[in-house]
Amino acid sequence: MSNEHNIVILISGSGSNMAAIVRAARRDNWAQKYRARVAAVISNKADAGGLAQAQELGVLTEVVEHQVFSDRDDPRGAFDAELARRIESHRPALVVLAGFMRILSPSFVAQFQGRLMNIHPSLLPAFPGLHTHQRALDAGCRVTGATVHMVTADLDSGPILAQAVVPVVLGDTAGTLVERVLHQEHLIYPAAIEAWLSQHAAA
């Protein structure tokens, strides 16, 4: 690996966590402290809003559309193989999933084992998977939140790195919880990445 510790961020949507990470990297001078930088943002959707946001922040963007592989014998495997190839071209120290809405294959996860990080909008191990805010409301939870964790082959079950607790208040809906939890995500995700860098890539 080169002396520079590259971070590759994967997105599928608006990229708000991605932008929070890029801004934190610059604000907190990860380049000097850890020789780390966000080298690329890759999306599986060409119309993902986060691509334009990344470009405005001066970060290289790429697209690997999963639909392109739909006619293959193994569409998921073919997509994961191409995505992995594109990621590896940036020699990443860390791969960060930031609203990347694809379940990755065990072989992909194994290729990036120990350097693949995700954020999930619940207090894991509660409510893995989708529709977390509505599920928390339906269960009568008094609190919810967000979890940063390392990725393993089992969905949303890797080692927990950081969590933020968000109270559930009277009148909350899934929509209001999304906003408050996302605010916390923007704080804990960059902090968790910096903590990882401090252990793995300190200058």
Rounded to a whole number of angstroms, the CA Rg of the chain reads 17
Q: Does domain 5-200 have CATH number 3.10.620.30?
A: no
From first CA to last CA, the distance across the chain in angstroms is 14
Catalytic residue IDs = 120
Mean predicted lDDT score pLDDT of the chain: 96
Please state the rounded mean pLDDT for residues 68-78.
91
Residue 154 has pLDDT above 70, yes or no: yes
Please state the rounded mean pLDDT for residues 16-37.
97
pTM: 0.96
CA dist 80 and 198 (Å) reads 29
Q: What is the DSSP string of 18-50?
A: HHHHHHHHHHTTHHHHHSEEEEEEEES-TT-HH
pLDDT confidence tier of residue 1, bands split at 50, 70 and 90: very low
Q: What is the DSSP letter of 155?
A: T
Please report, for the chain, the start and end positions of each structural domain, with discontinuous segments joined by +. 5-200
Res 202: pLDDT: 64
